[in-house]
Amino acid sequence: MKYVFGIDVGGTTVKIGLFSQDGTMIRKWEIFTNKEDDGKHIIEEIHKSIVDEGINLDDVLGYGFGVPGPVVNNHIIQCVNLGWKYYDLVGEFSRLVSNDNIVVQNDANVAALGESFKGAAAGKEDIVMITLGTGVGGGIISNSSPVEGAFGGGGEIGHMMVRKSNGRKCNCGSTGCLETIASATGIKKEYVEMAKELNLEAPLNKTGRVSAKAVFKAAKNGDKLSIAVIDRVSYYLAYACHVISVITNPEVIVIGGGVSKAGDFLLSRIQKEFKEYKFIAAQTTQIKLAKLGNDAGMYGAASLIING
Amino acid sequence: MKYVFGIDVGGTTVKIGLFSQDGTMIRKWEIFTNKEDDGKHIIEEIHKSIVDEGINLDDVLGYGFGVPGPVVNNHIIQCVNLGWKYYDLVGEFSRLVSNDNIVVQNDANVAALGESFKGAAAGKEDIVMITLGTGVGGGIISNSSPVEGAFGGGGEIGHMMVRKSNGRKCNCGSTGCLETIASATGIKKEYVEMAKELNLEAPLNKTGRVSAKAVFKAAKNGDKLSIAVIDRVSYYLAYACHVISVITNPEVIVIGGGVSKAGDFLLSRIQKEFKEYKFIAAQTTQIKLAKLGNDAGMYGAASLIING
């Protein structure tokens, strides 16, 4: 039997997935990301971990990687969180495992590939994934390939400016980016600010525990302010989906990341707002919740090898 | 010597370009588009015209086509203006010329391909073209291939909703689409409406000849209202460029179409507004004027054959 590895390198842990040739996940495990010495030990430790698991490297067809930074034509431009700059992961890892079939791709793109491989958009060639976590990320798949962009900046949906006036400052230097509203941090800030703006009672402020999760919980329990916050977040997410749908015309937009655990409560609101945009080609785009959770990156990384 | 044809099928005329293998245009001519009988005579007349020009079909490597409608995987879905629905142009034309190397693509996409082949973005793999004419169209090239979208609706930039309140009705059924502001028709309407909104004198209204061209001319001559109109049009075009730059991260955005003949007067304003968006990956995108004019479609159609 031949195997494929799908490896998702994150800032905290590396997720390693062992797959069969047809894309079935056989086993998965994690190791800590060793960021010492500009991240030069990371791939040695991945290699060691695979050998320690008792896998015969002669049976491995190839290794797919997802990394947290821009990638163009199988070259990593930069992964700030790992200390990698123009890092030759492909060449270095190839020598360690004596295998030339190494493919690397941006982590948001591999998550999108994962959902189009075995997840919410399985079998679809044109999809977009929006990941709502601490920040807002995105991956665009066109004709089964990631849209990397000229400088590896394709799919940076979080930095779409959506609020033209009174936008909050974003880490990127701009104001009013989608990330300032629809990320976990954005939802929290929206709650605090909307309480003043709408002059509504803000029960969570008193608990000292305002978080995206708490806002969703309160909204589901009928808290007026929290519902107003989620409605606004949904409005802007629907706008982003509209813009994406007229630009790359995906068959499915997949909403993932921690914030998407709010489930149908969030999804149904985004879908309702999205229907307000009448352009026909865009209306054919479906919006769905992600299915693979934290495994999406491993599936997508494996698909880089399996689907060539 | 071997030849390639680049054929741009429009609603009024068909532009036929004869190219050498390396993409040099040797000759070009036009024939009227015969839309009778659901457009069934169009390709016969293209074939006849090529034969009449004395080209030996045995010397032709292939024929590239641009058509005014959505195309997916070399299949035309619909060309409303021509009467074509699921029309098998590739099969039919292949029989007429006894050649299997026929490729068809949407006209906005071939114009973008043309500019990336021999025009303002020559040699660039990731570009976007925005065409400002009667409407606003767009073509997105990622990694040298058009982003067709799931239903052939990729690059429908004109239907990006950019004005959330007080937007004008668009033909698509939505309101506030970019096309309602930045097309030739949009600029004309903007002039009439902004005169009331800003309570400014509208010298062109008295002439009865308000047109995009006249507005640009008046603006260049210092007319306050016309300058305000062009500033607003530039503001929205810059916003569209920003959104595109974070989604597909092109190296160059090319502005073409009749309205772009306003030249640097328009371009410099769009560039200035675009610089207001600080996200770094997007700032690397350049905005340029198209170079090939009405020939872009023929060049792009020829490139479908030349670049495979």
Tens of pLDDT along A51-84? 999 999 999 999 999 999 999 999 999 998 899 9
Q: Which two tokens stand for residue A88?
A: 């030759």
- pLDDT for A137-169, tens place per residue? 999 999 999 999 998 889 999 999 999 888 999
Q: Is B222 left (phi over 0), alpha (psi -120 to 50) or beta?
A: left
pTM equals: 0.95
Q: Is B152 left (phi over 0), alpha (psi -120 to 50) or beta?
A: left
Element (H, E) at A214: helix A212-220
Banded pLDDT at A278 (limits 50, 70, 90): confident
| Measured distance CA(B215)–CA(B25) in Å, rounded | 35
- pLDDT for B255-298, tens place per residue? 999 999 999 999 999 999 999 898 876 778 999 999 999 999 99
Banded pLDDT at A136 (limits 50, 70, 90): very high
- pLDDT for A220-276, tens place per residue? 999 999 999 999 999 999 999 999 999 999 999 999 999 999 999 999 999 999 998
Query: Is B287 in CB contact (< 8 Å) with chain A?
Result: no
| Measured distance CA(B79)–CA(B82) in Å, rounded | 6
**Given this model, what pLDDT does residue A279 score?**
80
Dihedral sign, CA of B234, B237, B241, B242? Answer: positive
**Given this model, what pLDDT does residue B291 score?**
98
Burial class (CB in 10 A: 0-12, 13-18, 19+), A54: exposed
| Measured distance CA(A298)–CA(A302) in Å, rounded | 6
**Given this model, what pLDDT does residue B308 score?**
82
**Given this model, what pLDDT does residue B122 score?**
97
Q: Are B123 and B89 in contact (CB under 8 A)?
A: no
What's the gap in Å between the CA of B267 and the closest CA on chain A?
Answer: 21
B147 with A148: Cβ contact below 8 A: no
What's the gap in Å between the CA of A209 and the closest CA on chain B?
Answer: 31
Best to test chain B binding among A141, A159, A241 (most B CBs inside 10 Å): A159
**Given this model, what pLDDT does residue A122 score?**
97
Mean pLDDT estimate for chain A: 95
Give, to the nearest 10 degrees, the angle between helix A107-118 and helix A296-306. 80
Closest residue in chain A to residue B240, using alpha carbons only: A243
A157 with B278: Cβ contact below 8 A: no
Best to test chain B binding among A180, A241, A279 (most B CBs inside 10 Å): A279
Query: Is A80 in CB contact (< 8 Å) with chain B?
Result: no
**Given this model, what pLDDT does residue A172 score?**
86
Query: Is B259 in CB contact (< 8 Å) with chain A?
Result: no
Backbone φ, ψ for residue B89 (5° rounding): -60, -40
**Given this model, what pLDDT does residue B283 score?**
76
User: What is the arithmetic mean of pLDDT over A277-306?
Assistant: 92
**Given this model, what pLDDT does residue B165 score?**
84
**Given this model, what pLDDT does residue A240 score?**
97
**Given this model, what pLDDT does residue A171 score?**
86
Burial B58-76 (b: 16+ CB within 10 A, else e): eebebbbbbbbbbbbeeeb
Best to test chain B binding among A116, A128, A180, A246 (most B CBs inside 10 Å): A246
Element (H, E) at A48: helix A42-52
Residues of chain B with Cβ-Cβ distance to A284 below 8 Å are: 150-151, 153
Q: What are the DSSP E strand ranges found in A144-221?
A: 145-146
What is the share, in percent, of chain A residues with pLDDT greater than 70?
99
Residue B83: what residue type? G
Please check the confidence at residue A187 and state whether its pLDDT lies above 90. yes
Please check the confidence at residue A48 and state whether its pLDDT lies above 90. yes
Q: How many CB atoms lie within 10 A of CB A149?
A: 29
Query: Is B171 in CB contact (< 8 Å) with chain A?
Result: no
Stretches in chain B below the pLDDT threshold 50: none
